[in-house]
Structure 1
Amino acid sequence: MPRSLQIIRDEHASLAAMLQSMRMLVERGPDEGRKNFFDVLRAMLFYIDEYPERLHHPKESNLLFPKVVKASPKVLGAIDRLERDHMHSEKAARELQHLLLAWELLGPSRRPAFQEAFSKYIDFYLDHMNMEEEVILPEAEKVLSPAEWSEIDTAFEKNADPLTGKYPPTAEYEKLFSLIVQRAPAPIGLG
């Protein structure tokens, strides 16, 4: 199996775990640790914007998807949908950050708007990853050449997402990942 297939699946698994941890946090809501609650959710949303949106998705859109659709045009409809998802998800992540800030700064009256948007976002993201894993990755495994996989492997290996548990965070991101792991609930954190 190409290394990038495992990297993509590991990154999907860590993102799904992150989303589930966030769902648990949001359902519980802030308690006496109100500042911690918002700090952790903000850090988790920032992680999603930094890793999946800026590292993972561009490699799928610019490298993996074009190769798969060229070799197997029958997946064009799925790839078109996934590309639209990628364009939407970055904007949605930033909108969630805004809605979270509104809840934090303007109070509980803003909580329902965040919760509704967040619930839709989780469902959307889980469905998106499922389509990639059920449709695109199996097709890619069938149709791509070893040379194409080598190029894709090289690109995805550079992601080094610490939340997969396989890479230490870079110095630049150490504080972010420490905050998430120390304060977030399981399955992502210890908190």
Structure 2
Amino acid sequence: MRHRSLEIIRDEHSSLAAMLQSMRMMVDRGPQDNPKNFFDVLRAMLFYIDEFPERLHHPKETELLFPRVKKASPHTADAIARLDRDHQYTEIAVRDIQHLLLGWELMGESRKQVFLHEFTKYVSQYLEHMRLEESVILPEAERTLTEADWKELDAEFEKNCDPLTGKYKPDPVYEQLFTRIVMNAPAPIGLGGG
């Protein structure tokens, strides 16, 4: 049976992985001859991560999905505890990285290495986090959760409507943010060269 919440989680993971990949490509290239665009787009991308995955996606996993999986499959408790710790880390880290990026932009090269170190750690941990969810938790959820569980999960995750999945029109409030990202970020998220 197809569960809409699993599809949404995987779509959101895919768009976030693409965002992280685009950011990594931009950071690897550096500001080059257009530092204003470089810093503006990276800030917009970090803001997106803070607004969508951190405030919509993660709370629903932590509060709705993980407790159900843990109850149905107690052997997943250690993995779920790690994923919950990851959620706490990424929620704080995305804001710290925004600050470090601003430090690099305003204070120059003396702040670049600290940003690069924390950004690289953040991206690696985030990608590993999604891999663990998709290889352990989601298959276990599919195997053990009840139809009543899926009904509630599907109803909650369907409210997310993340426009970067390509399946939803952006809320008008976020239209300018998504336009900025898509027009200026490199593929796979955007059309620009970064």
Question: Could you say which residue in structure 1 is the equivalent of 2:175?
Answer: 174
Q: Indicate the residue corresponding to 1:161 in structure 2.
A: 162
Cα distance in 2, alignment partners of residues 23 and 115 from structure 1: 10
- What letter corresponds to residue 169 of structure 2 in structure 1? P
Q: Secondary structure at the match of 1:160?
A: coil
Alpha-carbon separation, structure 1, partners of 2:126 and 2:29: 21
Q: Mind listing any 5+ residue stretches in structure 1 that lack a counterpart? A: none
1:7-86 correspondence to structure 2 within 5 Å: 7-86=8-87
Q: For 1:16-40, what per-residue CA distance to the aligned partner results, in whole angstroms no more than 9, with x for missing partners?
A: 0000000000010002211010000
3-state DSSP of counterpart to 1:189: coil
Q: Tell me the equivalent position of 2:101.
A: 100
Letter in structure 2 aligned against 1:121: Y
Tell me the CA shift for residue 108 of structure 1: 1.3
1:147 to partner: Cα distance: 1.1
Shift of 1:109: 1.4
Question: What SS does the corresponding residue of 1:178 show, helix, strand or coil?
Answer: helix
TM-score normalised to structure 2 length: 0.97
Q: What is the one-letter code of the residue matched to 1:101?
A: L
TM-score, normalising length: structure 1: 0.99
Q: Which residue of 1 aligns with 2:185?
A: 184
Cα deviation for residue 187 of structure 1 reads 0.3
Query: 1:114 matched to which residue of 2?
Result: 115
Aligned residues: 191
Paired position in structure 1 for 2:144? 143
**Aligned equivalents of 2:109 and 2:159: distance in 1?**
41
Q: Deviations over 1:154-175 (max 9, x none)?
A: 1111110000000010001001
Question: Could you tell me the percent identity over the aligned residues?
Answer: 66
Distance 1:7 1:89 in 2: 20
What are the superposed Cα offsets for residues 52-103 of structure 1, whole Å, 9 maximum, x if unpaired? 0000000000000011111111100100000011111111101100000000
SS of the equivalent of 1:190 reads: coil
* Residue in structure 1 matched with residue 153 of structure 2 by the alignment: 152
CA distance in 2, matches of 1:188, 1:125: 17
Report deviation, 1:51: 0.4
Runs of 4+ residues deviating >2 angstroms: none
Q: Could you list the runs of 5+ residues in structure 2 that have no partner in the other structure?
A: none
